[in-house]
Amino acid sequence: MALARRLWQLQAVGGVAATVVYALFPSSSIGTTAFVLLGVATVSACFGGPRHWGAEPPAAWLLMGASALLFLVGVLIRPAVTDQPMPLPLLADAASFSGYLLLGAFLVVLLRARQGLDRHAVLDGLMVALSAGMTSTLLLAAPAAGVPGRSGVVAAIQGTYPLLDVLVLMLVVNLSFTAKTWPASLVAVLGTMAMMLIGDTVYAVAGASGHIYASPLLNVPFLLAYTALGVAALHPSVLEMSRADRPPVQAWSWPRLALIVPALTMPFVLLAAEARNDWRQGLIAVVGLLVVALLLARAIAAVRAHVAAQLRSEHQAMHDPLTGMPNRKSITSKIERLVRAIDPAGPDRVWVYMLDLDGFKWVNDSWGHDTGDQLVIDVGRRLRTTVPARIPLGRVGGDEFLMVYVGEKPDALRLVEDIRTCFARPFPVINHEVVISASIGLAHAGGDPVGAPVIAEALMRDADTAMYRAKAEGPGRSIIFDTSMHAQVRERIELEVALRVALTEEQLHVAYQPIVRLDTGLPVGAEALVRWEHPERGTIPPMTFIPIAEDAGLIGSIGAWVRKEALRQLGVWRSEGTVGDDFYLSINVSPRQLTDADLPLIVSGEMMRYGVPPRCVALEMTESVMVDGSSLTARVLFELRELGVKLLVDDFGTGFSALGYLRRFPVTGVKIDRSFVIGLGINVEDDEIVRAVVAMSTALGLSVIAEGVETTLQRDALGAVGVVNGQGWLWGKAVPAPEFAERWRVTKPDRTGLVSGA
Ligand code: C2E
Ligand code: MG
Ligand code: MG
């Protein structure tokens, strides 16, 4: 590897040395040997170097190697064949001509690999080529072709060489103008071409004066060209040559002007110098006209490119990159225009719809962000095909879409229905089908030519507020904003701030509600329920602040605090003998807490610290955790179960009908929701539901606890269908720890079991 990295230096030094040797002994066999050695080294470099470095495309450098070989052959045989009878001298030309063709092919392949055929560069190349072509025709090719005594073929060939050079020149201009960076290999290739042009020009000047082969010294530029070519092929940066690094469209630059200006002025200079009034003047005029025409095309292309770039950047500023839909800025200005345009006295109103996908976070968490992105794209597409094309629709946030409609209320509401139905079909993601819904908030306003910008802002904010209200009511809801929501939003924000304070100022405490055996009425455990005593507002129920805590990201800290406090309390009760050895505490956990991979480790540490065995701990979670939980949640649940703690499904029966999760997750029991218990003994249906739940749970080996038992009628009905444990006001509300201990203390030592101390 190290040697391979240095080979190009060897080529450089060796090449220069060979050139010097050749220059010192041009006509001897020493010089010729030096030339041949250099040529062979270079051809091998072309075949081997780029392949070694993995340069793409492989064909390009094979063409270049073959071209170098043909040139070498051409140069070597030229002295031998020049003075031979026809057609032998043509052999040298055949080799050189083919060399040119392959060289051109090399440059074209390279340019295409770089995707470098930039329009400006092509036009620049053409201008330079035309001008240089004309110059060389007048100054070199015409005299060369006109040397008296030459056969037509030789004259044509000698006249063509300068033109071939001009074509190569055009491609080289292209190559250098489409490079953003100039790797050493590119510089070396350009050096090769420069040397070739010099060499050919020298030959052409000699040719114009009647010689075809003058002196071996004329070959010195070609030796240098070979040296540079070998360096280009061996240098590691040969890899970068074919990489597409498109420059930002830089239509006019100094180096470009430095080429274009001479090309442009050349015809006029020549016109001034050319006194003879024959075909030459015609040629100059035509080429001059063509160059000017190209310049014009060039200018137009530059302006077009500029306009296209501007349009592109404007599009980017107004559109969402993921879905290509209009973004918030664009939709805002549309709303503004519509508010300004409609008749304030008319029946039409501007309706703004804020859509937010329900449960999108779970999609992201479970299947990754790529899937989430794909879902957003699909939803955007489906929405776009659902609502009429004239209705502006855009994406304004991760999973938020904004829509504007102008019309009367019934039509506006019909649109909501259309959107709802378009979510009925599932969305295919990877190899799943995701059923997802959107919560929709609507806000509306009448026309107002003056206050449009303010109204547009307000409409979006209000639609947002309504959307959050809709979300709070459950998935797939839609709500129209009304001003009372402002107060609710403010209230919510105030509560969030107060809750942060509550956490640090110990306004939270834990209350304990007994879970009892229905037959004895004695507690087997208790549920720990958080309580918030606000210094001014008094008691704030968990139903109010738990959802806020979940939204505000505070549920983790609150849940952790409750759990620790409850376990500590249980540890104290156990050591004091307040509770029996099997008495357990049931603690609520939020979905968010179960996405913490460290939870099992933390819980196990806490149990150890407070001397609580795992069988005395139950964790309660809602069905949603398992129905739309991620694989991380599943892992956390399994690890928790591994520890030995019970896992209970809270509010069982209220959430989802698919019960497969009961078998897939390590659940140990269910808590029948209060809503089914209320009607027991009165409503036959409720009896049946509870009976079915008990039968199923028994079959699955799950424990059953009935929640919200308030009457003896309910208790007896539960007992009759085989429920063993219950929780409810019949036995006691949730109370602070001292009260609980006072009420439910077991008399110690009592080996017969739990006996109420009260
Ligand atoms: P939950 O887990 O279903 O708790 C049972 C709720 O029913 C408690 O309401 C309890 O006081 C109430 N309840 C118990 N027996 C009866 C009865 O006989 N009749 C009636 N009408 N209600 C009864 P609470 O304490 O207001 O808690 C409400 C919800 O707040 C809980 O429902 C639970 O989901 C959540 N929660 C409470 N504490 C925590 C906590 O520390 N962390 C989390 N994540 N959520 C909690
Ligand atoms: Mg609970
Ligand atoms: Mg419950």
Distance from the alpha carbon of residue 528 to the mean position of ligand 1, in angstroms: 9
pLDDT digits (tens, 9 = 90+) for 43-63: 999 888 888 888 877 788 888
Pocket of ligand 1 contains residue 197 by CB under 6 Å: no
Decide: 35 and 54 in contact? Cβ < 8 Å: no
CA of 581 to the centre of ligand 2 (A): 22
Instruction: Label residue 421 by pLDDT band (50, 70, 90).
Output: very high
Amino acid at 731: W
Weakest mean pLDDT among 178-192, 364-378, 474-488: 178-192
> In this predicted model, what pLDDT tens digit does every residue of 371-418 receive, in sequence order?
889 999 999 999 999 999 999 999 998 899 999 999 999 999 999 999
| Most ligand 1 atoms within 8 A of CB, residue of 707, 725, 733, 740 to mutate | 707
What is the chain's mean pLDDT, rounded?
A: 86
- Across 123-132, 253-262, 645-654, least confident range: 253-262
Nearest to 317 by CA among 309, 329, 306, 305: 329
Tokens of 686: 């409720």
Q: Among 510, 546, 623, which residue has the most ligand 1 atoms within 8 Å of its CB, making it the best to mutate?
A: 546
pLDDT of the residue at 367: 78
How remote is the CA of residue 618 from the centroid of ligand 2, in Å? Answer: 10
Can you point out the beta strands (E) in 324-407? Answer: 349-357, 393-397, 400-407
Greater model confidence, 538 or 130: 538
Atom of ligand 1 nearest to the CA of 590: 44
pLDDT of residue 202: 80
CA-nearest residue for atom 23, ligand 1, is: 708
Q: Above 90 in pLDDT, residue 305?
A: no
Cβ-count burial 504-528 (b if 16+ within 10 Å, e if not) = eeebbebbbbbbbebeeebbbbbbb
How far, in Å, from the CA of 699 to the mean position of ligand 3?
A: 22
Q: Which atom of ligand 1 is nearest to the CA of 562?
A: 41
pTM above 0.75, yes or no: no
| Distances 32 to 15, 16, 37, 219, 482 between C-alpha atoms, Å | 13, 15, 9, 11, 96
Give the DSSP letter string of 621-669.
Answer: EEHHHHHS--HHHHHHHHHHHHHT-EEEEEEETSS-S--THHHHS---E
Protein residues with C-beta less than 5 angstroms from the ion ligand 3: 650-651, 707
- Checking if the pLDDT of 121 tops 80, the result is no
* AA letter at 9: Q
Decide if domain 493-744 falls under CATH 3.20.20.450: yes
Q: What is the pLDDT of residue 753?
A: 45
Token pair belonging to 13: 């030094």
The pLDDT assigned to 747 comes to: 62
- For residues 32 and 753, the model is more confident at 32
**Ligand 2 centre and the CA of 648: distance in Å?**
9
Q: Over 80: is that where the pLDDT of 651 sits? A: yes
pLDDT at 117: 59
Task: Say how many Å lie between the CA of residue 745 and the centre of ligand 1.
Answer: 23
Average pLDDT over residues 239-250: 62
What's the gap in Å between 513 CA and the centre of ligand 1? 9
252 — pLDDT class (breaks 50, 70, 90): low
Closest alpha carbon to 62 in 24, 33, 93, 103? 103
Residues 433-469: tens digit of each pLDDT? 888 999 999 999 998 888 889 999 999 999 999 998 8
Nearest CA to ligand 1 atom 45: 588
532 strand-pairing partners: 508, 540
Ligand 1 atom nearest the C-alpha of 542 is 30
- Assess contact for 123 and 297: CB atoms under 8 A: yes
Read off the pLDDT of residues 391-401 as tens digits, 9 standing for 90 and up.
999 999 889 99
Residue 296's pLDDT band (boundaries 50, 70, 90)? Answer: confident
- pLDDT (tens digit, 9 = 90+) per residue, 561-605? 999 999 999 999 999 999 999 999 999 999 989 999 999 999 999
Q: How far apart (Å, rounded) are the C-alpha atoms in residues 508 and 361? A: 29
CA dihedral 154, 158, 163, 167 (to 10 degrees): 90
- The ligand 1 atom nearest the CA atom of 620: 2
CA distance 68 to 46: 8
From the CA of 722, how far away is ligand 3's center (Å)? 20
Q: What would you measure as the largest C-alpha separation in the chain, in angstroms?
A: 136
Residues 516-540 pLDDT 10s? 999 999 999 999 999 999 999 999 9
State the DSSP H helix or E strand holding residue 295, giving kind and residue range, or none if neither.
Answer: helix 279-318
Q: Is 714 in the pocket of ligand 1 (CB under 6 A)?
A: no
Query: With bands split at pLDDT 50, 70 and 90, how would you rate the model's confidence at 354?
Result: very high
pLDDT band at 274 (very low <50, low <70, confident <90, very high): low
Residue 152 pLDDT > 70: no
Tell me what pLDDT residue 379 has: 95
Which of 380, 362, 383 has the alpha carbon at shortest distance from 371?
A: 362
Strand partners, 587: 528, 619
Alpha-helical (H) ranges within 137-219 are 142-145, 152-177, 184-208
Instruction: Give the residue, 8 or 211, on which the prediction is more confident.
Output: 8
Confidence check: pLDDT of 663 > 90: no
- Reply yes or no on domain 328-482 having CATH 1.10.3720.10: no
Q: Which atom of ligand 1 is nearest to the CA of 511?
A: 25
